[in-house]
Amino acid sequence: MGRMRGIFLLVVFLLGLSLGLSPALRAQSIEDSGKGLIWYESVIGTSSSLGTVTRFDSTVGYNFNRHFGVDFGVPFLFVHASSSTTTTLRSANGIGDIYTDLRFTLRNPAVNFISTLRGAAPTGSTSNGFSTGRATVNWNNHFDRTFGRVTPYAELGLANTAPDTAYFVRPSTTLGLTGHFEGGAALQLARLLNFHASVYAIEPAGQQKVFSKFLNRTSAPTVPASHGRFFQTAPETVGSADIARDHGFSLGFDSRPFRAVDLAIGYTRSATFDLNTLYFGVGFNLARLLGSSSH
């Protein structure tokens, strides 16, 4: 049994190295670090018919107590376009928008609540679609409650940019007032393995700008968009709320096989964009590894 358990852990770990860490699991790992230092390193991304968008994130901060925490992050983005697409796409890499998170957590038998306010500075390239060129703010509120092995959850937020959802690093960056929602449930399949299923909605309002991560201002001329994929047809698009709206669902597995390692694999179907993506990455909670946080 011990040998089989070791093989299982190794398989899960190797899968995670190639296929995934979800934003939800990363946030939970940071929040669960307890009072003290926050230090989290991750590589996450999505792969689709367009290509891959990979994001390396380095986050450092401090949890003051079980309710309040703050962290700062620096992302690096690597975009590799697929050669099989009919549209001329391009690859690029560079720094994204550096950010800070202010977080409030309230654990309660009735419902758990985590509210996060993220502010990002426009340090990324707008020509590469890594930034809007403006400061962005995202206020997200997470609710969950566990019933045995099942944990239903919901997230509601308001931002001036469309945030990444669980298992979906977006192929574009947007600017404009946006409401976002995600709801679903996690099922504990085993002590080290959870299954997640959720639906999401990005609901913009007013004028929107879409900056493509696969096209820059020197790319091919604009062509008509199909399935709302303006990020595939023009480097920058300005229009109504419809150009940034998105709905879909995600399925995924996550695991914490070791004390400081978070892994996941996921699939997202964007019904609006008619786009299928696989999510991949791995995360390391170095503060927990160093034992600098108290629980």
Query: Average of pLDDT values for 136-162?
Result: 97
Residue 217 has pLDDT above 80, yes or no: no
pLDDT in tens, 77-111: 999 888 765 556 778 899 999 999 999 999 999 99
pTM of the model: 0.83
pLDDT in tens, 220-235: 545 556 677 888 888 8
The SS3 of residue 281 is strand
Residue 4 has pLDDT above 50, yes or no: no
Are 108 and 146 within 8 A, CB to CB?
no
Q: How far apart are CA 81 and CA 149, in angstroms?
A: 40
Residue 5 has pLDDT above 50, yes or no: no
